[in-house]
Amino acid sequence: MSDSIYADLKQLGHATTLPQSPDEAELERVANPQAGVAYNVRFTVPEFTSLCPMTGQPDFAHLVIDYVPGDWLVESKSLKLYLGSFRNHGAFHEDCTVSIGRRIAGFLDARWLRIGGYWYPRGGIPIDVFWQTGVMPADVWIPDQGVPPYRGRG
């Protein structure tokens, strides 16, 4: 891997450990070989976990991240490690969802990004959180996130 264009990546192809917090997690990116083409990239994270900042109990969500890349793509192993670092992180649903969207969008300088955080009930109430960088691009097919309103998710 050292002779490839990906030689500067520290995580892909290397043994890694889960970062202890989102602040310690390092996102990595690779050049977009289709930078001149408008298209959507979707990451679905059906088992996202964080901690309630008040009780320390685990919270669970189904995240859907859509982005239209510019010059950069997020390297998926680094994204997985970043998202996994929330397992020991105490924050409200809204903070987790928006923080993730803002960090990825800013890191990539994406043309557009949207994140849907579909949180499982806490205290009997599901909390769904949505954030995006701006108006959805008209020249890209971006399907519905496909997560129905809470009725018992699965």
Q: Could you list the active site residues?
A: 52, 59
Q: 104 phi and psi, to 5 degrees?
A: -65, -45
- Cβ pair 16, 1 in contact under 8 A: no
**Which pair of structure tokens corresponds to residue 79?**
């994204």
Strand (E) or helix (H) holding 65: strand 58-68
- Cβ pair 100, 70 in contact under 8 A: no
- The C-alpha atoms of residue 64 and residue 43 are separated, in whole angstroms, by 6
Look at strands 58-68 and 72-74 and give their pairing: unpaired
